[in-house]
Structure 1
C-alpha cells in the first residue's frame, strides 16, 4: 500500500512472496506405489541420532511420535531382513522424522531444496490415502502432524493448514477432545491421546491464525485434560504455556466484534492499516503525524512493547546459538516485530521515539537465520528493507512535531551510550533484560482493550471510502 501510494507503481515482484514458492521439493505431487524404494537409509546409530535431534528441537512444544511404540518398531525394522516393514504407516512416519532430523543436525542449508527432502518426498509417495487412516487413528494423527509441520516450515502454508485440518477431524472423530477416562482404557493410551490432541490443537490454532481463517472447533467444546509428564516439570510447563497461548489466539479470533466487522482478520493489523492509510492521505500536507488516542493507542502500544520483548528474547537465543533455523517461529517473531517497529512511528510519532537498536536486532536475527540457509529469512529481511526504503521517501514533518529538545538530547545520549558499549562482551544485557521482563499489559487486559475498540472508524475498508473517518474515531 505504501509503495503504490508513493511511487504509483506496484511493489517489485521479488518482494512479493507466494505460498509454496520458496522451496523446491523436486516432486510433482504424483504418487506411484510401484516405484521402487531406492532411498539410502542411515545406519541405526545415525538414525537414532537424527531422531534424538527431532526430540530436542520439537519435543518441548509438540508430540510428533510416541517414543515407546515408535522405537520398538524402529529396532524391529533394522533387525528385519524383508521389505514388508517398508510399506506401512510406521515407515512413512520414520522417513518424515529423518527429514526433520537431517535439517536439524546440519543447521545450514544450501539451495532451494532442503536437506532431507528426499526422505519427505518418498514418505509422501508411500502415504496412505486419508480414507484408510482411520484403522490406526492415533498413529495416523501423529504422522499428519509431522507432515503439516514440515510443510509449514517450507512455507507451504495452505497445504499445511489442510493437513492439520485432516488431523483435527480424525482426532475429533476419536473423541480426543473430550476428557478421556482411564477406566476401561490403558493409561498409556490415554496419555498418548492427550499428547496427540494438544499438539493438534496448538498447530491448528497457530496455522489458522497465520491463514486468517475461522477456527474449526471452539474452546468451549474441548474438555480434554493435559497429559502428565512424570519427572519432567519443564516439559509440563512448556506444554501448558503453549496451550494457554493458543487459547489466547482462540479468544482473539472468536470475538464477536471481530467476526462481525473484520471477517476473522487480525484486529491490530487492520487498525494499523487504517492509521497508516490516514498518514499516507496527508503526505502532501505540512502537518504533524496524526496521533492516536484511547483504546487504539493502548493497543498499538501493546504491539510495540510485545515486539521489543520478542526481539530481546531472540537476541539472547542468538547469542547462545539457539535460534531455530528450520522451524518458522523465531523467523515469524523477528519479522512481525520488525514490521511493527517500522510502521509505529508513521502511525503515531509519540509511540516510538527511536527505532534504535530494535530494527538492528531484527535484521541481525534475520541475518543469522539467513546465514544458516533459511531462505524465508532472506526474503523477509528483503521485505522489511523494501518497506523501510519506501518509508524513508515519505515527507517528514517539522522537527518540533517529533520530540522536544530535552527528549532529543536524551535520545542522543542513549544512542552514544549503546555505541560505546558495543565493544563490551556484556553489551546490552541490562537493556535486553529490561525489555524481556518489562510487562505492562496482561493477556486479559489485551482482550479487554480489543473488546472495547471502536470499530466504526474502519468502515472504509469494507465500503471503499474513508471520507467519513474522524481522527477521534481512529
Structure 2
C-alpha cells in the first residue's frame, strides 16, 4: 500500500463527532464537484435524498448525525473526495480530506450487520470502498465492496423488487444501487485477482435501462456489461486451472463475439447521444470508451490517448495519492509499488522467458509469403525506463473496436478451420 488510512470504530451508542466541518455552501460546492468527477459512480448517491438530509444536518448536526449515521458517513466521504479533487497540495503530505474519510470509515458497520437503513449503509460502504481503492488500499476496498454486495444479497435487491410492494421509485433505486455495487465488486475483484461473491446466474434483477430509457441509465447499463465482460475475460481467458482442458480457444472466441456485440451497441449509443463525436467535453462518452478498451490488450495506446484528452481539459480529476509526496518530482507514490510488482513478476518468469530474438510465427494464411523479419521486434530491446512523451500521442477518433474485425479474429481462432486449411495445403 502507498498509504494506510487508520480509524477507530465509533460505538453505536456514541454520538458521532460533528466538529470542524465546512459551512453549508461549501458542502454543496464539494458535492457538485464530486458529482462532476464521479461520472457513473454518482448513481450511488441519491441526490434528492442526500440534499434533503444535508439541509436537515445543518439545522441540527448532532441529532442528525446520531439518527442518520450511515448518511453522515456518506456526507463525510463526499467531503473527502471533494477536497481531494480540488486541493492542490496538503502541507502535511497526507491526502486532502483524509480526516473526513477516517471519520466516515469509523461509522461504517462491522460484520455484525447493517440493521439501520440498509440501503444507505450499502451506499456508504460502496463510497468507502471507492475511497480505499483511490489511496491504493486494494484489499480493504475489496473487503468493503464485498460487504456491500453481501448486504445487497441479504436485502434481496439482487432479485427484482416488485413495484407494487414498495413503489416504482424505491424499486428503481434498489436496482440502480445493486448494479453499481455489482460493477465495483467485479472491478475490485479483478484488481486483486479474486473471484466475485455472486454468480451471474443468481441475479434476476433487471438492468436499469430496461425500464428507464434515459441517457444516464443507458450509460450505467453499458458500464455494467463492460464490467461483466472484463470479469469473464479474467476468469476464463486468463484464468488458471489445474490442467488445460481445451476450452481456451472456445472461451477466447466467446469473448471476442461478446466484445463485437458490445462494440456495436456502444457505437450506437454514442452515435445516438453524442452524434458520433468524442469531444473533449463528453465525459460520459470518454469513460465508456476507456472501459471498453480495458477489455482488450491491444487497446493500451487508445487508453493513453484518451487519458491525455481528459487530462488536457482537467476532466480526469486528481488522484488522491498524488499529494502524498513532499517532492513533486516523485510523482504518484503508488507507481513505484506497481513497478516493483512488475519487476518481481519479471524475475519469476525469467526462466520461462528466453532472451534470444523471438522466432517469427507463421502467417495464418499458409499461401502467403513470410513476413519480413524487420516487422518483428524484440521486447528485450525496449527501454521500459524511458520517459513517455505525452505530446507524441494524437487522439484516435475511433469510438470503439470495429465489430467486424473482432468477429474476423474469432473466426481465425476456429480450430477446425485452421486444421482444414493446413490439411488442404499439405495435400
Alignment partners' CA distance in 1, 2:181 and 2:410: 24
1:421-454 CA deviation, whole Å, 9 max, x = no partner?
Answer: x99x9x653xx426765547777788899997xx
Q: 1:225 to 1:303 in 2, by over 3 A?
A: closer
1:166 aligns with 2:159: no
Report Cα offsets for 1:320-366 as digits up to 9, x if no partner.
232343379xx9xxxxxxxxxxxxxxxxxxxxxxxxxxxxxxxxxxx
Give the secondary structure class of the aligned counterpart of 2:106.
Answer: helix
Q: Distance in 2 between matches of 1:62 and 1:448?
A: 40
C-alpha contact 1:24 1:113 (8 A) present in aligned 2:
no
Q: Comparing 33-42 with 155-164, which one deviates more in the overlay?
A: 33-42
In the TM superposition, residue 63 of structure 1 has moved relative to its aligned partner by 2.4
State the Cα deviation string for residues 108-128 of structure 1 (Å, max 9, x = none). 566652111101111223334
Does residue 242 in structure 1 map to residue 219 in structure 2? no
- What TM-score, normalized by structure 1, do the two folds share? 0.59
1:57 aligns with 2:37: yes
Please give the per-residue CA displacement for 1:251-271, whole angstroms capped at 9, x wherever unaligned.
3355499463479xxx89xx9
CA distance in 1, matches of 2:51, 2:320: 24
Alignment partner, residue 433 of structure 1: 396
Distance (Å, rounded) in 2 between the aligned partners of 1:141 and 1:384 = 34
User: Could you tell me how far 1:382 is from its partner in structure 2?
Assistant: 7.1
Judge conservation of contact 1:103–1:109 (CA < 8 Å) in 2: no
Q: What is the TM-score with the length of structure 2 in the denominator?
A: 0.65
> For structure 1, which runs of at least 5 residues remain unmatched after alignment?
1-20, 272-301, 332-369, 409-421, 453-474
**Number of the residue aligned with 1:311:** 304
- Matched residue, 2:291: none
C-alpha change, 1:303 and 1:244, in structure 2 (3 Å) is: closer
Flag the 1:53–1:250 CA change in 2: closer, same or farther, 3 A. Answer: same
Tell whether 2:339 aligns with 1:375: no
* 1:68 alignment partner in structure 2: 48
- Correspondence for 1:209 among 176, 190, 195: 190
Q: Does 1:85 align with 2:64?
A: yes
Count how many residue pairs are aligned between Structure 1 and Structure 2. 336
Deviation at 1:406, TM superposition (A): 7.4
CA distance in 1, matches of 2:120, 2:358: 63
CA distance in 2, matches of 1:183, 1:371: 59
Aligned mates of 2:360, 2:233 — CA distance in 1: 38
Please give the alpha-carbon distance, in whole angstroms, between the structure 2 residues aligned to 1:252 and 1:127: 33
Please give the per-residue CA displacement for 1:386-443, whole angstroms capped at 9, x wherever unaligned: 999999xx96649999x958769xxxxxxxxxxxxx99x9x653xx426765547777
Structure 2: runs of 5 or more not aligned? 253-294, 323-327, 362-370, 377-388, 416-427
Whole-Å separation in 2 of the counterparts to 1:100 and 1:180: 31
